[in-house]
């Protein structure tokens, strides 16, 4: 056998332990999940229940709407802050960037708790509004709190991605546009934003997929929020409806995977999902 082929074969062999573990602990369990999903009284049509059953459909729809809202808001906020932070140098900038990336390591549960501290019954926002208007604003324990939590979770990740992308932009292009008489707004719209498009697409996909599938934040805020992961959790633990929980989680998995895979086809590599 020639050495090149031997090298290739040996290289492939080295992936075997990882693949074996993956097959035993992910592929096989997933196959089981798919078959359990079709094992309920409705058979394989349980996979359509998420569209045909009004309760599940409402849950899916509200999760999609929430995730899209979070994605749009996160992108808008992170674009403004990320471009600003990358393009300007001022005292304290390094500290500001470090502070803003601090939440990267916070799991969803912790984010949920922070939202309660902000907008919960004893929260800061409630204190401020009761001092200002004599009325306490409390919105942590529902969709509003979840929106705030996912925003909190996503902004640091997306800001970092945007900053890295801004750094890689070719300044000569902007300079050329400016010398041709383009206004700041025109340069932003026609040069900067298109240049950031791949980073924006991949950030959007990660943000959307994370918001669709996240569980910890919603779990901390209230177990009654009508989003798909909570619905799945309740089906599984409270109603012991394994078939329904299985089929719904397969549907959810296909949605998040498709969002990430689609973005990767559009924007190239680098869309591998977030933590």
Partner 1 sequence: MTGPSPRLSPKAEGAKRKPARYWLQLAFTLAVCAFLVVPVFMSILAGLTQNFFVGLNSGLTLRWVGEVWGLYSDTIWRSIGIALACLACTIVLGVPAAYSLARARNRLTRWIEELLVLPVAVPGLATALALILLYGTWREFRASWLFILVGHVLFTLPFMVRSVLAVMMSVDLAALEEAAASLGASFPRRFATVVLPNVRPGILAGALMVLTLSMGEFNLTWMLHTPLTKTLPVGLADSYASMRLEIGSAYTLVFLVMIVPLLVAMQWAATRMERKGA
Going from the C-alpha of 224 to that of each of 62, 77, 219, 230, 232, the distances in angstroms are: 13, 29, 9, 7, 12
Q: How far is the CB of 267 from partner 1 (least distance, A)?
A: 15
Judged by CB under 8 A, does residue 246 bind partner 1? Answer: yes
Where does this chain touch partner 1 (CB under 8 A) — which range of 47-55, 130-138, 191-199, 246-254? Answer: 246-254
- State which of residues 61, 64, 73, 84 lies at the interface with partner 1 (CB under 8 A): 84
Q: In the range 155-174, which residues lie near partner 1 by CB under 8 A?
A: 155-156, 163, 166-167, 169, 171-172
- State which of residues 21, 43, 262, 268 lies at the interface with partner 1 (CB under 8 A): 21
- State which of residues 48, 124, 128, 197 lies at the interface with partner 1 (CB under 8 A): 124
State the Cα–Cα distance between residues 235 and 75, nearest whole angstrom.
33
Maximal CA-CA distance, the chain? 83
Judged by CB under 8 A, does residue 90 bind partner 1? Answer: yes
- State which of residues 2, 41, 54, 89 lies at the interface with partner 1 (CB under 8 A): 89
How far does CA 191 lie from the centroid of its chain?
Answer: 27
Residue in 241, 239, 232 with CA at minimum distance from that of residue 41: 241
Q: How far is the CB of 136 from partner 1 (least distance, A)?
A: 14
Judged by CB under 8 A, does residue 116 bind partner 1? Answer: yes
- State which of residues 69, 103, 142, 195 lies at the interface with partner 1 (CB under 8 A): 103
Residue 161 CB coordination number (10 Å): 22
- State which of residues 138, 207, 214, 244 lies at the interface with partner 1 (CB under 8 A): 214
Where does this chain touch partner 1 (CB under 8 A) — which range of 43-51, 64-72, 95-103, 195-203? Answer: 95-103
- State which of residues 59, 154, 203, 249 lies at the interface with partner 1 (CB under 8 A): 249
């Amino acid at each position: 056998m020639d050495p090149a082929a031997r090298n290739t074969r040996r290289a492939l062999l080295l992936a075997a332990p990882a693949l074996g573990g993956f097959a035993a602990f992910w592929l096989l369990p997933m196959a089981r999940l798919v078959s359990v999903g079709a094992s309920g009284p409705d058979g394989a049509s349980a996979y359509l229940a998420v569209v045909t059953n009004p309760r599940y459909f409402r849950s899916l729809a509200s999760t999609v709407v929430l995730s899209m809202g979070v994605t749009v808001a996160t992108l808008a906020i992170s674009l403004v802050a990320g471009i600003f932070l990358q393009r300007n140098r001022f005292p304290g900038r390094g500290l500001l960037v470090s502070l803003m990336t601090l939440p990267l390591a916070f799991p969803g549960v912790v984010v949920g708790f922070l939202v309660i501290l902000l907008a919960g019954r004893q929260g800061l926002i409630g204190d401020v509004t009761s001092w200002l208007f004599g009325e306490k604003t409390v919105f942590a324990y529902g969709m509003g709190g979840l929106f705030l939590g996912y925003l909190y979770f996503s902004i640091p990740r997306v800001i970092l991605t945007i900053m890295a992308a801004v750094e890689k932009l070719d300044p000569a292009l902007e300079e050329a546009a400016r010398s041709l008489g383009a206004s700041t707004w025109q340069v932003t719209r026609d040069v900067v934003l298109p240049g950031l498009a791949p980073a924006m697409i991949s950030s959007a996909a990660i943000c959307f997929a994370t918001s669709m599938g996240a569980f910890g934040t919603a779990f901390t805020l209230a177990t009654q929020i009508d989003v798909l992961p909570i619905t799945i959790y309740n089906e599984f633990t409270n109603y012991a409806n394994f078939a329904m929980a299985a089929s719904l989680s397969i549907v959810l998995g296909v949605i998040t995977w498709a969002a990430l895979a689609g973005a990767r086809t559009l924007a190239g590599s680098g869309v591998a999902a977030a933590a």
